Amino acid sequence: MNENFRAKWNDPAREHRVNAIIHEWHENRPAQMDAIVDYGFGGVVTNPSHRGSYEDFLQSIPEFAKIVAELEEHGLGFWIYDEFGYPSGYAGGETLKGHPELEGKGFYMRRYVAYEPRTVRHHLDCESDKIIWAAKYPIDNPVMQESLVRYDEMTPVPFTDTYVEAELNTAEALFVFCVKPAYEGSQCTHNTCSFSRYINIMNPDAVDRFIELMFEPIEKAVPGVIAKAKAIFTDEPSLMVGYSRDYEEWPYAIAPWVEGLFEKYEARWGESLLPKLPLLFEGAQKGGTTRSRFYQLVGEIIAENYSGRLQAWCKAHGGTFSGHYLGEETLYAHVMYYGSYMSVLQKTGYPGLDVLECVPERYSYSTAKHTQMAARKMGASGTMAEICPFSHIEEFKQAPYANMLGVMGLLYMSGVRVTNSYFTSNWEEFAPEKLQGANGYMSRAQAREFNGYIGRMSTMLEGLQPQTDVFVYYGFEDASARFVPHHSAHFPADTEIDASCKRITDAIFEHGHDFLYADAEDFVAAKESGCISGTKVRVVIVPAMDVIDADALDALLQLEKQGLQLFFMERTPNRCIGSDAPVTAELTAYSCEEVLRALDGMETDFRAEGGSKLMKAKFQRDGHTVWMLHNGSREDACVRLTCPVCEKWDPLTGNIDPVEENGIICIPALQSVFVIL
């Protein structure tokens, strides 16, 4: 590396350091500003005051303008948190005042069966808004213990907004579909802020109202502030159709709803959804294509009307829309909260995630890896991570600083390039007489070390993409095809793909092999070139899936003929999305051990061996090969390198040390280092 880069490494720019999240400033703000600079932070995530009413929020904006000016005077960058309360879109409850039509909605199904002729009457209950569809279907009873609905033989039934009456013949079923608020038992009522109802993130009018309340007053009072901000920070909007607590059961299992949804489905997919509505809620082996298409559409609507709309507004004012969403860890959550998480994320300006599990042994590698996939598809330079050490807090507190170092290395190895953090500092130590009560996890010395660590990792990895040719299949079609709404937060047994993903990604990552996620769209596009985002694909690992995209499977099999190593983990898919037809190709299932042996056998000019949990990722910078090595264990590791003469760059200390050919280096517990060839 040249001297200019070494200088940047020695003193990382503020843009590469951590941003402290400060919603409410200490009463001695000048002293806290000085402490932020002294502790080596790069900037802050902040906002007009959240205390009091919405009117108080508006009246606090002039003070916010002073804060921005003071930050600029101190050379500190800033992000703007977009909310008064939580989650984003809530606006202190103001968004829905006088606008009940903007509330988040879902629709549910009621099923009535006749085994002999009967009259069925359905009255809308007090929790619901209106009936939106009703139809009856014949039932087959091939054997006494079976009742199989013939979904392709729908007969519409007249209905009003509040009432349905139908005459059912022997072996018929009536299905009634009703809209209600997406509220009880959801994130609305299980959060840290309020029990208030929430907006419909599929509704553009609701999002425009949110912009009007939260974005425009700040820009109007502080002209140009959106452009000056590093980005706008949004916080966990969601559909509110999933339940949050496993100790609650509710009478409604609801799917996302917005006016015009059925028409949008027909326009998007060229067929009516109405005959297949029951398949969104039941169907077992049937209806996978309908469910997958439905949730893909839901994601596209949110992408257009929430993340895309907010990014467009920010871009028009010279800024960028970022922040993070909910349930990054699993595909099940991606479907439940957003329909298609990847669609939503790719419409942001800069994708982000949050980390609640800040104990390394509990951290999910897919948390950052999923978001890294969106960044790759967008061509973004990386991702943002919000650090929230809130889960298993007592375990975290046993060694907070070491735990946080361990998680940060994993995040930066997996695409994170910006950190916004609730991992707080003891500001009082800086000025005991001025900052009384401003306590946190890190001492002044630790904060300086921590910011240097993050700053150097970010400096080294800025703009770099991982150099791996191992891809894990992101099976959205399987998760969405098997997803049906539930009456509680108990995850159903068909989250097989997430369990399989965790098993294989934990195994390969902790065995020292990096990977990227890629989806059906990626593999179809790679069919001719064999490349994904410019990288030649050598290995594809498909987790346990029942349903797979037909075109993607065809592309994978063609790539396998060209030399791709293709591994179906634990089982092979049975059905193809699009036709719901059986998979006819002869496929082979593999175990984790077989995959690990294959990965270990791949030729490489670099090996690092030692420690019980050594992880590696490869990058290229300025003509040099950069290996990031992370010691995931709580014991120091002596690592033998198989490579020519190189240098070890330690981001915690800043030290750069030569390493002899095939030398040994020490990596402290839970820390990362770089080896430069």
In 395-496, beta strands by DSSP E: 416-421, 470-473
Q: Are 464 and 414 in contact (CB under 8 A)?
A: no
202, β-bridge pairs: none
CATH architecture label of 607-676? Sandwich (2.60)
Please give the torsion angle defined by the CA atoms of residues 446, 448, 449 and 454, in that order, rounded to the nearest 10 degrees: 120
Long-range CB contacts for residues 119-126, cutoff 8 Å, separation at least 24: 119/165, 119/166, 119/167, 119/168, 120/164, 120/165, 120/166, 120/167, 120/168, 120/174, 121/163, 121/164, 121/165, 122/163, 122/164, 122/165, 122/174, 122/176, 123/162, 123/163, 124/161, 124/162, 124/163, 124/178
Question: Max alpha carbon distance in the chain (Å)?
Answer: 87
Under 8 Å CB-to-CB from 138, ≥6 apart: which residues? 149, 150, 153, 171, 172, 173
Rounded to the nearest 10 degrees, the angle between the axes of helix 496-510 and helix 592-600 is: 30
DSSP structure class, residue 215: I
Q: How many CB atoms are located within 10 Å of the residue 317 CB?
A: 17
Q: Containing H/E element for 149?
A: strand 148-149
**DSSP codes joined into one string, 133-146:** EEEEEEEE-SSTT-
Q: 579-618 burial, b if ≥16 CB within 10 A, otherwise e?
A: ebeebeeebeebebeebbeebeeeeeeeebebbebbbbbb
Q: Are 80 and 214 in contact (CB under 8 A)?
A: no
pLDDT at position 492 is 59
* Prior bond of 87 cis (ω within 30°): yes
**In which residue ranges of the chain is pLDDT below 50?**
none
Residue bearing tokens 């298409």: 293
Rounded Cα–Cα distance for residues 227 and 317 (Å): 6
Q: Which tens digit of pLDDT belongs to each residue from 466-519? A: 999 999 999 999 999 999 999 998 765 558 999 999 999 999 999 999 999 999
Asked if 105-181 and 470-600 have one fold, the answer is no
CATH architecture label of 470-600? 3-Layer(aba) Sandwich (3.40)
Q: Which tens digit of pLDDT belongs to each residue from 270-319? A: 999 999 999 999 976 789 999 999 999 999 999 999 999 999 999 999 99
φ, ψ (nearest 5 deg) of residue 558: -70, -40
Q: 240-263 burial, b if ≥16 CB within 10 A, otherwise e?
A: bbbbeeeeeebebbbbbbbeebbe
Q: Containing H/E element for 607?
A: strand 607-609
**pTM as predicted:** 0.96
Give the torsion sign (CA, 646, 650, 651, 656): negative
pLDDT at position 273 is 97
Letter for the amino acid at 345?
A: L
> Domain-by-domain residue ranges, the chain?
105-181, 470-600, 607-676
Rounded Cα–Cα distance for residues 319 and 218 (Å): 13
Q: What's the distance, Cα to Cα, between the start and end of the chain in Å?
A: 10
Distance of CA 626 to the CA centre of its chain: 27
pLDDT at position 52 is 87
Q: Are 151 and 279 in contact (CB under 8 A)?
A: yes
Please give the torsion angle defined by the CA atoms of residues 443, 448, 453 and 454, in that order, rounded to the nearest 10 degrees: 90
Rounded Cα–Cα distance for residues 354 and 365 (Å): 12
Q: Which of 519, 514, 572 is nearest to 543 (CA)?
A: 572
pLDDT at position 50 is 84
pLDDT at position 491 is 63
CATH of domain 105-181: 2.60.40.420
Rounded Cα–Cα distance for residues 432 and 438 (Å): 9
Rounded Cα–Cα distance for residues 504 and 543 (Å): 7
DSSP structure class, residue 306: I
